[in-house]
Structure 1
Amino acid sequence: MIKIEFNNKTNREFALVVQNLTRRKRAEERIERHTVEGRSGQIIDRLGTFESYEREVTFANFEKDKVRDINKWLSGNGILRTSVDPDGFFYADVIDVMERNPLGCCRNSMKVTFLVEPFFYLERGRHPIKTDKSISIYNLGTIYSEPVIKVHGSGNGKLSINNKIINLSNIENYVTIDSKLKITHKDNLPKGKDMEGEYPIFEEGRNYISFSGGITKLEIVPYWREL
C-alpha cells in the first residue's frame, strides 16, 4: 500500500488509505524563445530554472472523527515523502483539498493537490559534510545543488568554490550561507552586507572547495537533488 508522509506525519496516523497518487514527473524548464528575421526556427535561451508542478492524492477516509485533524495536517507547506519515491523528498504546498464524496457506509474520499517544487531531494544530501581543510566533493544528484554552508571562524575570510570567490567579513564564531533562500545570516539575523560574491552552487560532478583568512572550518549540507 502507498504511504504518504507530510511534515513528519503519515496517512496511516489518520486512518487514510491512498487510492491514487499521480506520479513524479520531470519539471518544465523555463525558456525564452526568440525569432530572428530571415532565419528559420527559433533561438532558445535556457534560463536554468524550472516550474513547479502538481501532484494529486486521493484518500479513502475510514474514521469521521479524525476529519478536523486531517484538515489541520493537510494544510500549509513542508516536506512531502511518498513510498513510491524512496530515498528522498519534495518541498510542497497544499493548494487544494476537495471535500469528501461518499464511498458507501462509513467511508468517504477526498482529493488533495500538492504544488511540488521542481526537484526531488536525496536523503543523502541532508547529511552535513564537515571539514577544516580544502576538499573536493562529488555531486550525487543529476543537476546543480544549492547548499547551506556554515562558515566557522573570526574576522575576514575567503571561501572558494570551483574558483568562484566569496568574501566574508566580520565573522563572529560563524555565519550561515543559504543558497536556496539566497540569504546570509547568523542566528536568523541578516548578515548579507558582510558577504561579497554570488551564492554558491555545486555543479554536476566534482566540486572543489577551499578557504583562507579567518575561516577555520566548514559545515556543508549539500542538498543533492534530481529533476
Structure 2
Amino acid sequence: MYQYFIWNGVSSLDMGVVMLKAPSIFIPQRKVNEIKVSGRNGVLHEDEKTYQNYTKDAECHVMDRSQIDEVCGWLTGFGEVIFSSEPDKVYRAYIKNQIEFGSILKNINDFLVQFDVEPFKYSVNAAGDALELTAPTTIRNSGTVYSEPLITVYGSGDITLTINGADFPLYGVQGSITIDSEMMEVFKGNTNQNGKYGGAEFPRFEVGKNEIRWTGNVSKIKIQPRWRWL
C-alpha cells in the first residue's frame, strides 16, 4: 500500500502523488537560552518552557508528469497536514520550500516537500474529543503536553470557572461567553468580551486528571480540549 499525506483535506493519492519516504518522528527542540556569566565556569540555562517549529521532509513521487502544475498549485501556503505514518495526528504547517522536480532526488518525477510544522501535533478526531458538562467533573488529558482549550460557558451574571483549583472569573455573562486559551481572547460571536474576564492567566488542561467546577448561574459548559502531543 502506498504511503501518502493529506494537505488541507486533500489526499496526495487523489493528486497522483505518493510518499516514497515518510517524515521522521521526533520531539521538537525546547527553547533554552544560554547565559554566559563573566568569571563563572560553563553557562547558565534559562528555560522558556516553549518549543520551536521544525521541518518534516516528505520525499514524494508524482505518477503522471502532466499533473505537475496542478500539484504545484496544491502544495503551497499554510494549512494542516496528516501523514499516513501517523493517521490519528494532524500538524499545523506551511510549505517552506520551492518544490523542484528531479533536482534533489534521482527520478525526474520525484520531489521533496518541506513542511515547517508547529511544535505540537493534535488529534485528528477533534470533533469527537469535544465535551459538554452540566455538572462538575474530572477530565483526563491523555496527550503529552498541556492543552489550551476553547471553552464556552452558557449562563448569566457573574460566574467563576475553577480548573485544578485556579479561578477564572467571568462578569456579567449574557447567554454565553467563550474563552479561547490558545488565542488568549474572550468573546461572544464576533464581539470581543475581554473586559468581562478576570483571570490572571488563561485556562489550561495539564497532562492527566483535571478537576472542573464552577459557581454562578451556569446551564452547561462546552469544551474543545485541543489535546496535543510533542
Question: TM-score normalized by structure 2?
Answer: 0.88
Within the alignment, does 1:208 sit opposite 2:211 as a pair? Answer: yes
CA distance in 2, matches of 1:69, 1:170: 52
The residue type paired with residue 209 of structure 1 is: I
Is the 2:4–2:17 contact (alpha carbons within 8 Å) kept by the matching residues of 1?
A: no
Counterparts of 1:59-138 in structure 2, within 5 Å, are: 59-101=60-102, 108-123=109-124, 126=127, 127-138=129-140
Structure number with higher strand proportion: 1
CA distance in 1, matches of 2:212, 2:43: 39
Q: For residue 60 of structure 1, report the CA deviation from its aligned partner.
A: 1.3
CA distance in 1, matches of 2:178, 2:9: 25
CA distance in 2, matches of 1:45, 1:125: 34
CA distances 1:51-89 after superposition (whole Å, capped 9, x unpaired) = 000011122112234334322321222221111113211
Aligned residue for 1:71, secondary structure, equals helix
Structure 1 counterpart of 2:49? 48
Is the 2:145–2:229 contact (alpha carbons within 8 Å) kept by the matching residues of 1?
A: yes
- Identify if the C-alpha distance between structure 1 residues 193 and 13 changes in structure 2 by more than 3 Å, giving closer, same or farther: same
- Structure 2: stretches of 5+ with no match in the other structure: none
Please point out which of 190, 193, 208 is paired with 1:191. Answer: 193
Within the alignment, does 1:14 sit opposite 2:15 as a pair? Answer: yes
Question: TM-score normalized by structure 1?
Answer: 0.90
- Identify if the C-alpha distance between structure 1 residues 43 and 215 changes in structure 2 by more than 3 Å, giving closer, same or farther: farther
Residue-pair matches, total: 225
CA distance in 2, matches of 1:34, 1:214: 50
CA distance in 1, matches of 2:207, 2:97: 35
CA distances 1:152-171 after superposition (whole Å, capped 9, x unpaired) = 11222111111111111232
CA distance in 2, matches of 1:148, 1:136: 17
Structure 2 counterpart of 1:180? 182
Is the 1:157–1:167 contact (alpha carbons within 8 Å) kept by the matching residues of 2?
A: yes
Q: For residue 125 of structure 1, report the CA deviation from its aligned partner.
A: 5.4
Computed over aligned residues only, the root mean square deviation of the Cα atoms, in angstroms, reads: 2.1
- Structure 1: stretches of 5+ with no match in the other structure: none
Aligned residue for 1:210, secondary structure, equals strand
CA distance in 1, matches of 2:78, 2:123: 19
Within the alignment, does 1:218 sit opposite 2:226 as a pair? Answer: no
The residue type paired with residue 226 of structure 2 is: Y
60-69 or 82-91, larger mean C-alpha shift: 60-69
CA distance in 1, matches of 2:172, 2:130: 24
CA distances 1:98-141 after superposition (whole Å, capped 9, x unpaired) = 2212866xx62222111111112234555111101111111101
The residue type paired with residue 17 of structure 2 is: L
The residue type paired with residue 109 of structure 1 is: D
